[in-house]
A and B are shown apart, each in its own frame.
Chain A
Amino acid sequence: DAKTTQPNSMESNEEEPVHLPCNHSTISGTDYIHWYRQLPSQGPEYVIHGLTSNVNNRMASLAIAEDRKSSTLILHRATLRDAAVYYCILSGLAGGGADGLTFGKGTHLIIQP
């Protein structure tokens, strides 16, 4: 199964950009790259997803390497409310139900005021 590797934790300052890396060297050609985040005491929340091209939405940007073996979630201007665990997930992994998700441990993002 294609898996992802993320740093356990990262720290950033408020109002600065944050770049959250994810390695997925065994990604297959049909795997989408998804990012979810989980705030304390809440369920995971969808952030963004992409296949090959970079993607932007109101929450974040997703930069996908040309060989697709890594990606970066970009929060353009972090706020204290962005402090959460961020999960990088590949679709299509077995055992997640049809189009379900297989979560790792994610990156715990700490935002300093």
Chain B
Amino acid sequence: DTGVSQDPRHKITKRGQNVTFRCDPISEHNRLYWYRQTLGQGPEFLTYFQNEAQLEKSRLLSDRFSAERPKGSFSTLEIQRTEQGDSAMYLCASSPTAVNSGANVLTFGAGSRLTVL
């Protein structure tokens, strides 16, 4: 098990371009989360999947953002028409379903750093 993998690790793009990030969770984990982190801040929740179903989306996830997890395994996060304010680290995490709600332990990937010029 290699943990949670994210690709690419770094992406530089021009304003207005589309970008896509991929996350490969730990294989037996059925829950997958996306977070965004800007400099000096803690990670902010974006969205959450239980298997292939997207069950919750943050208000931070504008209509330019879309996330999928088509087969309940890997996930993609696409940002359309990028803006400079989208520059951030995008983190993916996965977890199994906890026996006790609240005792859930998340395993994070190393993140994908986006720079929008």
| Contact for B42 among A42, A51, A92, A106, CB less than 8 A | A106
Binary interface encoding of chain A residues 44-86 relative to chain B, with 1 for a CB under 8 A from any of its CBs, else 0: 1110010100000000000000000000000000000000010
Q: Quick check: A97 and B102 within 8 Å, CB to CB? A: no
Binary interface encoding of chain A residues 11-48 relative to chain B, with 1 for a CB under 8 A from any of its CBs, else 0: 00000000000000000001110101000011111100
Q: Which of B13-21, B47-55, B77-85 forms contacts with chain A? A: B47-55
Q: Quick check: A42 and B110 within 8 Å, CB to CB? A: yes
Q: Quick check: A46 and B106 within 8 Å, CB to CB? A: yes
B5-61 CB contacts (< 8 Å) to partner A? 31, 33, 35, 40-45, 47-48, 50, 55-56, 58
Q: A45-B108, A46-B107, A97-B56 are in contact. Are A31 and B48 (CB under 8 A)?
A: no
Closest B residue to A33 by beta carbon equals B102
| Contact for B102 among A30, A36, A95, A102, CB less than 8 A | A30
Q: A49-B103, A98-B50, A99-B95 are in contact. Are A44 and B58 (CB under 8 A)?
A: no
> Chain B interface: which size bin?
20 to 34
> Chain A interface: which size bin?
20 to 34
Q: Using Cβ atoms and an 8 Å threshold, which residues of chain A touch B101?
A: 30, 91-92, 98-99
Q: Quick check: A91 and B103 within 8 Å, CB to CB? A: yes
Report how far A103 CA is from B100 CA in the complex, Å. 20
Q: Quick check: B91 and A98 within 8 Å, CB to CB? A: no
Closest B residue to A99 by beta carbon equals B104
Q: Using Cβ atoms and an 8 Å threshold, which residues of chain A touch B91?
A: 43-44
Q: Quick check: A105 and B109 within 8 Å, CB to CB? A: no
Q: Using Cβ atoms and an 8 Å threshold, which residues of chain A touch B56?
A: 95, 97-98, 100
